[in-house]
Amino acid sequence: MTTAEEREFDDLLLLLKETRGFDFTGYKRNTLIRRIARRLEALKLHDYGEYRDLLELQPDEFTRLFDSLLINVTSFFRDPPAWQRLRETILPPMLDRAATGGPIRVWSAGCATGEEAYTLAMVLAEELGVDAFRDRVKIYGTDLDEKSLQTARAGVYAERTVADVPSGLREKYFETVPNGYAFRRDLRRQLIFGCNDLTHDAPISRVDLLLARNTLMYFNTETQHNVINRFHFALTDPGFLFLGKAEMLLNHSDKFQPVDLRMRLFRKLVVNSHGHRSVWAAQTTIPDLVSRLPALASVALTSGPVAHFVVDLPGNLALANSEAEALFDLDARDIGRPFQDLAVSYQPVELRSIIERARRELQPIEIQGVLWRRAGTPDGCVFDVSVIPLLTSSQLVGISIHFHDVTRYRKLRDELELANRQLEQAYEELQSLNEELETTNEELHSTNEELETTNEELQSTNEELETMNEELQSTNDELQHINDALTTRTIELGEVNGFVSSLVRSLGDAVVVLDDELRVIVWSPGAEELWGVRADEAVGTPLAALDIGLPFDALAPRLRATLAGGFAAPENQGLVLDAVNRRGRPTPLTVQLSHLRTENNLVHGLILVMDVLDPK
């Protein structure tokens, strides 16, 4: 891909983020390129610039693009051996830990149309019993695709989709409805479906079991790391994680321990904490801090030279001084809003996880050297960020965040580093012997890194293959739906043709339909029997050109007169002709003439109904 193409591709991703709020920068670039190329091919477009213009002109294309990018491939009891292993190794210790009757919370991340969430509901209902399931279990299904979530909320699936459910469970947990099968309404209330962006939105907390099957493989390495950290926070101590067969967690052994690596079942490793909840899960409220400050202290706080704001326990912005408002484009309307909804919560630095850490440890946290390039500052500004827990009588009441502008000091430090590098270059000759001794150690270290890189490449290749497999499955599902629609239309067409044929047979011994130039349009089976000419020979041929025993010279003037007159003349409604049938025998018959009309009541042909008269 050329540099120009890369810029156009990045502009397209930026358009999706700015106009629709979907940030795909954390997804694997090759997968995005492949899926978008599929839309370009379908629309006969040549580059990303043309596609961007099309999106701006046709907003409906966004929906089709998201359907292509958000690959929704799932099914009931997907990979049955993995589900069986889950029942044998994960559910017993999880249910034993919750044996006191407490709630059981489960999160299906990337649930698509909800099949795996309902699968887990059936598994837990079988383990606990239906009554205990209703009383204790909550299953949360989240996804980015709102269209798929609507299907999940309805809980109605086609017969082909439910075919993967064992017959006993299908009869027990599904009800027959006109358009398929619906999950039991009394158990459906235990499942909650909602939109959640794993890369940005707050995770669901206090989860005993988390399913994210073939979800991580669509993210790049950095985004995978962030999402796994969120999963670790979401799970209880200990909680369990169920991944897809292309996801390994080889680089996260400090957070998760394999229970069954082959089936991708993991247990959360417990880390030391002070037991404080996240800013996303805080339930208590505190009075507004500003209203409790004396007037002089309040003015001094809001007028300080350092950008400063305060987040209360529920995670809302409680206070921001004038420097913070100017720096981060805040105003009075932002006071009281959830902090995670504000841009300052993730730029210039991700603050939500840092706030959570400060809440747990009850210790100030310093982040130094945060670079932020804003409009009007080409070289960017550098900040040291302080996150300080606010305590009253050893009770946490909020979090204070300060942004210290250290741009000038950073420039001085950079100049000092440059001087040090120049000094180091002067000593390079003296250090050559030491460098030679270190070469061997570096080579060994390089070899180790190469092995790690090879392992990561193999893992990435496996994820790519699994992604392509799901894309092919998605395409196959689309083709199956098209085939079903064509089959239905074919059946309907056959029924219509049968009805028309029956109607033609009922009109008379022989029926012939002519267009406005007296060419044959319809030649009934009775006409074939009477005149000895097959329908494929007659259709499209002028009636006068057919070699049959019908006295066309006597009939033609009346045909043209009826066609030109726009109505059926009385003398043409019972016309008697002496004809000769296909066996050469005289056959007197009556010919009834009717108009062939369009929906607008315009005449565009004639209908001839011929009945053979019985000889007297």
The answer to whether position 359 is within a domain reads yes
Check whether 304 has a pLDDT greater than 90: no
Q: What is the pLDDT of residue 313?
A: 85
Residue 300, pLDDT > 90, answer: no
Question: Quick check: helix, strand or coil at residue 115?
Answer: helix
171 shares a domain with 139: yes
Answer whether residue 299 shows pLDDT above 80.
no
Among residues 433, 423, 590, which one has the least CA distance to residue 510? 590
Note whether 498 and 533 are same-domain residues: no
Q: Three-state DSSP class for 484?
A: helix
367 and 493 together in one domain: no
For 57-90, write each residue's pLDDT tens digit: 888 788 788 777 777 778 899 889 999 999 999 9
Q: What is the largest CA-CA distance in the chain?
A: 134
Query: Which tokens is 15 given?
Result: 């358009």
d(CA 528, CA 582): 9
Q: Residue 72: its pLDDT value, please?
A: 75
255 and 295 in one domain?
A: no
Q: Tell whether omega for the bond before 238 is within 30 degrees of 0, i.e. cis.
A: yes
Q: Are residues 206 and 84 in the same domain?
A: yes
8 Å CB contact between 358 and 399? yes
pLDDT, tens digit, 9 for 90 and up, residues 142-151: 988 888 899 9
DSSP per-residue string spanning 26-95: TB-HHHHHHHHHHHHHHHT--SHHHHHHHHHH-THHHHHHHHHHS-----TTSSHHHHHHIIIIIHHHHH
In a domain, 283, yes or no: no
Which residue range(s) make up the domain with 35?
3-69
Q: What is the CATH number of the domain that holds 106?
A: 3.40.50.150
Last residue of some domain: 367, 387, 405?
Answer: 405
Q: Which two tokens stand for residue 476?
A: 């196959």
CA atoms of 446 and 273, how far apart (whole Å): 36
pLDDT value of position 284: 36
Q: Examine residue 75 and state whether it is found in any structural domain, yes or no.
A: no
393 and 359 within one domain = yes
Nearest of 315, 307, 369 to residue 337 by alpha carbon: 315
Decide if 282 is inside a domain: no
108 token code pair: 């299906």
pLDDT in tens, 87-130: 999 998 888 776 666 789 999 998 989 999 999 999 999 998 99
Number of domains observed in the structure of the chain: 6
For residue 466, the model assigns a pLDDT of 81
Question: Of the candidates 214, 233, 268, which is a domain's last residue?
Answer: 268
Q: Tokens standing for 544?
A: 């006068």
Q: CA-to-CA distance for 105 and 137, rounded, in angstroms?
A: 6
Q: What distance in Å separates the CA atoms of residue 607 and residue 596, rounded to the nearest whole number?
A: 6
Percent of the chain at pLDDT > 70 equals 88
Q: Do 177 and 139 belong together in one domain?
A: yes
Same domain (yes/no): 31, 53: yes
| Closest to 133 in 3D by CA, of 90, 191, 183, 212 | 191
Residue 513 lies in a domain: yes
Cα 312 to Cα 289: distance, rounded to the nearest angstrom? 8
- What's the angle, vertex CA 225, arms to CA 223 and CA 231, rounded to 5? 105
Length in residues, the chain: 616
Residue 395 and residue 330 share a domain: yes
CATH code for the domain in which residue 31 is found: 1.10.155.10
pLDDT band at 298 (very low <50, low <70, confident <90, very high): low
Quick one: which of 514, 562, 560 has its CA closest to 539? 514
Q: State the pLDDT at residue 434.
A: 59
Please write the tens of the pLDDT for every residue from 494-553.
888 778 777 777 777 888 898 888 898 888 888 888 888 888 888 888 988 888 888 888
What token pair was written down for 141? Answer: 């299904």
pTM for the full model?
A: 0.52
Residues 6+ apart with CB under 8 A from 576: 588, 589, 590, 591, 613
Residue 612 pLDDT more than 90? Answer: no
In 3D space, the residue among 272, 281, 337, 290 whose CA is nearest the CA of residue 313 turns out to be 281
| 339-374 pLDDT per residue, tens | 888 888 888 888 888 888 888 888 899 888 888 877
Angle (CA) 349 350 351, round 5° = 100
- What DSSP string describes 430-443? TTHHHHHHHHHHHH
155 and 205 in a single domain? The answer is: yes
328 and 261 in a common domain: no
333 in the same domain as 233: no
